[in-house]
């Protein structure tokens, strides 16, 4: 299976660790580097939302990120053990409104929805799970694949 996963505390200092994890997956899978940016932005938005809003005072949720290469695309799952929250229930922001008339927040979720082909939320027991997927265009003359034995952590 072409899957990798990692787990970190919901601490902003862990964002570079997750970005490197994504970049290493991308490289090992021989995916087109230009297409990694959508996943990097989505990962940053979702992770920083968990860091900023996903815990009660004195607790630090654990965040698990998994990446799966299958069926011509990449699926990224971000799970946390913070308070139940479905970000997909947020109303879409009015991006036509003047900046001083806009409601605060919600642009990150809006961005993730625009960057990805599909986004879904599920509450699994005591964990929030946000799944995002996007078709990956193969580079000319190449195919996206992971080498044998490169799955795992």
> What are the structure tokens assigned to 40, written together?
């990097």
**Domain boundaries defined on the chain:** 3-135
Report the pLDDT value the prediction gives residue 54, as an integer from 0 to 100: 81
Strand segments, DSSP code E, in the chain are 3-9, 62-70, 73-80, 118-124, 127-135
What ranges in the chain are assigned the alpha helix state H?
15-28, 36-53, 107-115
Report the pLDDT value the prediction gives residue 93, as an integer from 0 to 100: 66
Classify burial at 128, counting beta carbons within 10 Å of its beta carbon; exposed 0-12, middle 13-18, buried 19 or more.
buried
Question: Into which CATH architecture does domain 3-135 fall?
Answer: 2-Layer Sandwich (3.30)
How confident is the prediction along the chain (153 residues), in pLDDT tens digits per residue? Answer: 489 999 999 999 999 999 999 999 999 999 999 999 999 999 999 999 999 888 778 888 999 999 999 989 999 999 999 889 999 887 776 666 677 766 666 677 888 999 999 999 999 999 999 999 999 987 544 544 444 444 444
Report the pLDDT value the prediction gives residue 91, as an integer from 0 to 100: 73
Which of 52, 45, 63 has its CA nearest to residue 119?
Answer: 45
Kindly report the pTM of this predicted structure: 0.82
Residue 123 three-state SS: strand
């Amino acid at each position: 299976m072409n899957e990798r996963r990692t787990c970190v505390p919901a601490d902003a200092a862990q964002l570079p660790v997750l970005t490197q994890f994504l970049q290493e997956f991308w490289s090992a899978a021989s995916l087109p580097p230009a297409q990694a940016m959508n996943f990097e932005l989505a990962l940053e938005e979702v992770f920083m939302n968990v860091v900023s809003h996903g815990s009660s005072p004195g607790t630090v949720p654990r965040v698990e990120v998994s990446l799966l290469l299958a069926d011509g695309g990449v699926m990224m799952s971000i799970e946390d053990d913070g308070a139940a929250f479905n970000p997909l229930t947020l109303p879409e922001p009015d991006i036509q409104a003047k900046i001083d008339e806009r409601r605060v927040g919600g642009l990150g979720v809006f961005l993730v929805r625009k960057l990805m082909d599909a986004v879904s939320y599920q509450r699994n027991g005591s964990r929030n799970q946000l799944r995002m997927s996007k078709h990956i265009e193969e580079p000319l003359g190449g195919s996206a694949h992971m080498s044998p034995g490169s799955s795992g952590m």
